[in-house]
Amino acid sequence: MMIYIFGSITLILYTLIIKPIALMYHEPISQMTSPVFGNYGRYLFSLEAFTLIVMIASLVLYGISMYHNHTRNGKVSMRTIIAPLILYVFAFALLGVSGF
């Protein structure tokens, strides 16, 4: 879940702050230049790709940890299983709504 928390920072940054602001401008994003990030379109793409990679990696690691716990006959409460799944559904829905 630590990877998810790290990825959620870029997820919130991308989907709730940067992408909506970029869509308010009337020129193509690929032609915009920022003094901080350089080519704004390339920055958005790299932030988008990083967020997606981190979310998928954390989902895979979550699945591996649940499988490892199951093979060792560990007991996990239903809340422990469901809470991360709700976060993943929220994350991928937010990426979909933002126009990924």
Q: Which two tokens stand for residue 28?
A: 């193509």
What pLDDT digit, counting tens, does each position of 7-18 carry? 777 777 777 777
Lowest model confidence (mean pLDDT) among 11-15, 43-47, 74-78: 11-15
Q: What is the pTM of this model?
A: 0.69
pLDDT at 63: 87
- Looking at the structure of the chain, the number of domains it has is 1
Choose among 40, 36, 55, 58: nearest CA to 96: 55
Which residues constitute the domain of residue 36? 2-97
CA atoms within 13 A on the CB side of 41: 7
- Residue with the bigger pLDDT between 9 and 61: it is 61
What pLDDT digit, counting tens, does each position of 22-34 carry? 778 777 777 777 7
What gap in Å lies between CA 50 and CA 22, rounded to an integer? 18
